[in-house]
Structure 1
Amino acid sequence: MNHTFSLLFYLKKDTRSSSKKAPIHLRITVNGKRAEQSVKRSIEPERWDAKAGRVKGNKEDARTINSHLDTIQVKINRIHSKLEDSDSVITAKKIKDLYNDIDEKKKTILEVFRYHNEMVKQQVGKDFALGTYKRFETTLKHVEEFIQHQYKLDDMFLNEIRFQFVTDLEFYLKTVKECNHNSTLKYIRNFRKIINLAVKNEWMDRDPFMKYQVKLKETKRGFLDKEELERLENKELGVERLDQVRDVFVFCCYTGLSYADIEKLSPKDISKGIDGEHWIFTERTKTGTDSNIPLLPKALEIIEKYENNPAVLNSDSILPIISNQKMNAYLKELATICEIDKHITFHMARHTFATTVTLTNGVSIETVSSMLGHKNIRTTQIYAKVVQRKVSDDMLKLKGLLTEQPKKAVNQ
């Protein structure tokens, strides 16, 4: 059957990336009907030879892209020849579909990453928190920028990912992105989940993480001590916005709730417990685990203070909640007003509950772990170490004082 057939590589200039590059597309035309798709490569428009359908010059990235286009052209021509030899009906879509079947297993890392993130997005509020989805999106952005930075490519096939890719990504996050050690490893951990997904689906021949080993560094958990907490509670502020932020923060110091948990807390989450007292019965946003907390008098006092507050009456909240970003900005201001020489963030309230309010006052670590909604008691043991360190520091100061006293007595 007679037909016309042509193959063209061209730039799609109306969809340039932030790097001012334009994506290269493939156009297959049979009998005047077209089928198009991206070849997952891009280049600056001024470096593109439209007549030749190739990148100009002899730079390394030009040679790499042109070689990739040559490979695609050979495959498309081979598919077209096979269809001709078999006397099949030939269409542009059929050639394109057959080409993609040839490359079915050659999925790209960003393609799989976006596939994974879309699945997470659809389960937000069910199996995943919104924060989890956002963290994977941030990791995707970092990996995409790393591929551009390191390889000058828009994407890479999964089987091109090797051990060095992982170690170079770690170095990039620490140097170019200036992430600290633990933040870097959290991004790497997210990336590893994508690789695990690809390995399980047999989209990859090997796991580049097989020999990759690195540990998180233990970090100090900031918290307010008893004197600082009392100073914050008792300070006369005279400014409504600061007063409300202080009260919400202090409430979380006495309940251990995170920002995400207090934000969604509603009156229906508070009811009488087995002891006849008021409890919070909720599920942690981050992990989905139960967190059941008896309400201490200070926490109840704050709830009662805001029972008739317009922001509470017009919502399903028990306290007037503003954005986490604004909370942290106002907490910085409160630290200055209260002369607390610490960088206070909202999450410090949770640490203060675990250390100053509970463990320091003899509450068992098992009970604290249950109230915090930890899946593993080892997570709670971090706070126990903080308390032990505080006891150790205090005792060292005491030893110093006791050592100095005999010296003064002798001198006198």
Structure 2
Amino acid sequence: MSRSTFSILPYINRQKVKADGTANILCRITVDGKSAAISTGISCTPSEWNAKKGEVRNARDNGRLASFLAEVKDKYNSLLTTNGIITVEMLKAVLKDKDTTGRFLLNFGDTIVEWYRTSKARQTFLHKRTWQKNLRAFVHSLDKDDIAFEDIDENFGEEYKLFLKRDQGRIDSYVNHCLLWLNMLMYKAVDRSIIRFNPIAKIGYEKKAAPKMTHISKADFIKMLSTPMADERTELARRCFIFASLTSLSYIDVKKLYPHHISENSDGRKFIRKEREKTGVEFFVPLHPIAEKILSLYNTTDDSKPVFPLGEKKDIYLDVHTLGMVLGI
């Protein structure tokens, strides 16, 4: 085994700051006096970079950098042990081969999705996984197992939009979410110096659909008042919807309404006095006769239980949706 001198030096090029204000962290590798630079796949702002220590002030990115540098050393030692000789070109080639999978769209996306899976953002993970699944279906429709970032062009993005709308029948908002996911992967590839720019950046998103009705008309409300439901859960939803409409209470305020919140004045008029659950602001609401009649059908005496036996928010939304379908609203 021949002797070899080896050193590594992480640095940033302050003259090449990207539009987001960050610069790529590079690593200068020197073997026997010959040097080569390689991207670490990490970026930071110039103010976060400690040039004297060769570190990032951000703990997370600094940990990633330390892992990269440790891997460079391991690859160096492994090559030297295996071959007995090493050059900077050999080491750089091995390090680039290591990142081959990261240069492919689906593999790279799978890595990001896996990170979300292990994080606490469960709902976010489910969304990302679905968007990645759609992207995979499109790539497979091109008779490819995966596609290199460098092979992606603007036409790829346009065809993906067409695939989502024509082949999968997705609505505009869904198409936009899928395009956002693809763009995010492309920009991350740019950040890691896998590609120089995002070729699909100029592809337009679909126009937002007109907002759905956020309220019901007076005629619809009268129709709801005069149409009791046979199903017990749907009838509870109907009554609570009417009660909330006449008292301006939110779902959570209705759910956490207890008998002690209901009082009566000297004229025998009942009213609600409690604090808003979300803001903590106290409010006072005299009860409309219809709201008072609904109230009389439920718990107004046992203060250990709420007035209305409401379930979880998602269940109530389903019941209200069913109510709307039955009434044709």
TM-score, normalisation: structure 2: 0.51
- Report the equivalent of 1:280: 276
Contact 1:170-1:188 at 8 Å conserved across structures: yes
Q: Cα deviation per residue 1:320-376 (whole Å; 9 max; x = unaligned)?
A: 23755x954x54653465xx333xxxxxxxxxxxxxxxxxxxxxxxxxxxxxxxxxx
Aligned Cα RMSD in Å?
A: 4.8
- Report the equivalent of 2:328: 341
- Report the equivalent of 1:229: 221
Q: Does 1:102 align with 2:94?
A: no
Trace 1:38-53 onto structure 2 (pairs within 5 A).
none
**Secondary structure in 1 aligned to 2:276?**
strand
Query: Given residue 180 of structure 1, which amino acid in structure 2 is its aligned partner?
Result: I
Unpaired runs of 5+ in structure 2? Answer: 2-77, 262-271
Q: How far 1:110 sits from its partner (Å)?
A: 2.4
- Report the equivalent of 1:209: 200
**Secondary structure in 2 aligned to 1:278?**
strand
Contact 1:110-1:155 at 8 Å conserved across structures: yes
**Secondary structure in 2 aligned to 1:209?**
coil
Contact 2:150-2:195 at 8 Å conserved across structures: yes
Unpaired runs of 5+ in structure 1? Answer: 2-79, 89-94, 283-289, 343-412
Query: Given residue 135 of structure 1, which amino acid in structure 2 is its aligned partner?
Result: H
Q: Distance in 1 between matches of 2:156 and 2:282?
A: 45
Q: Distance in 1 between matches of 2:282 and 2:113?
A: 33
Q: Does 1:186 align with 2:182?
A: no
Q: Cα deviation per residue 1:46-101 (whole Å; 9 max; x = unaligned)?
A: xxxxxxxxxxxxxxxxxxxxxxxxxxxxxxxxxx999865369xxxxxx9xx8564
- Report the equivalent of 1:408: none
Q: How far 1:148 sits from its partner (Å)?
A: 0.4
Closer, same or farther: CA 231–213 of 1 in aligned 2, 3 Å: same
- Report the equivalent of 2:149: 158
- Report the equivalent of 1:86: 84
Q: Cα deviation per residue 1:299-335 (whole Å; 9 max; x = unaligned)?
A: x978997669xxx969xx97223755x954x546534
Q: Distance in 1 between matches of 2:194 and 2:243?
A: 49
Q: Distance in 2 between matches of 1:112 and 1:83?
A: 31
Closer, same or farther: CA 122–332 of 1 in aligned 2, 3 Å: same
Q: Distance in 1 between matches of 2:101 and 2:280?
A: 44
- Report the equivalent of 1:113: 109
Q: How far 1:137 sits from its partner (Å)?
A: 1.7
- Report the equivalent of 2:191: 200
Q: How far 1:166 sits from its partner (Å)?
A: 1.2
Contact 2:183-2:201 at 8 Å conserved across structures: no
Closer, same or farther: CA 163–106 of 1 in aligned 2, 3 Å: farther
Contact 1:106-1:159 at 8 Å conserved across structures: no
**Secondary structure in 2 aligned to 1:132?**
helix
Q: How far 1:169 sits from its partner (Å)?
A: 0.8
- Report the equivalent of 1:132: 124
Q: Distance in 1 between matches of 2:152 and 2:282?
A: 46
- Report the equivalent of 1:171: 162
Contact 1:281-1:291 at 8 Å conserved across structures: yes
Query: Given residue 131 of structure 2, which amino acid in structure 1 is its aligned partner?
Result: T
Query: Given residue 274 of structure 2, which amino acid in structure 1 is its aligned partner?
Result: H
Contact 1:306-1:319 at 8 Å conserved across structures: no
Q: Distance in 2 between matches of 1:181 and 1:225?
A: 27
Contact 1:244-1:320 at 8 Å conserved across structures: no
Contact 1:266-1:318 at 8 Å conserved across structures: no
Contact 2:106-2:146 at 8 Å conserved across structures: yes
- Report the equivalent of 1:142: 134
Query: Given residue 334 of structure 1, which amino acid in structure 2 is its aligned partner?
Result: L
Contact 1:195-1:207 at 8 Å conserved across structures: yes
Query: Given residue 129 of structure 2, which amino acid in structure 1 is its aligned partner?
Result: E
Q: Distance in 2 between matches of 1:250 and 1:159?
A: 58
Closer, same or farther: CA 250–104 of 1 in aligned 2, 3 Å: farther
Contact 1:303-1:318 at 8 Å conserved across structures: no
Q: Distance in 2 between matches of 1:293 and 1:156?
A: 58
Q: How far 1:146 sits from its partner (Å)?
A: 0.7
Q: How far 1:280 sits from its partner (Å)?
A: 3.4
Q: Distance in 1 between matches of 2:237 and 2:195?
A: 50
**Secondary structure in 1 aligned to 2:193?**
coil
Q: Distance in 2 between matches of 1:105 and 1:331?
A: 51
Give 1 or 2: higher helix fraction: 1
Q: How far 1:209 sits from its partner (Å)?
A: 2.8
Closer, same or farther: CA 135–313 of 1 in aligned 2, 3 Å: farther
Contact 2:234-2:323 at 8 Å conserved across structures: yes
> Percent of aligned pairs with the same residue?
14
TM-score, normalisation: structure 1: 0.42
Q: Distance in 1 between matches of 2:223 and 2:123?
A: 32
**Secondary structure in 2 aligned to 1:231?**
helix
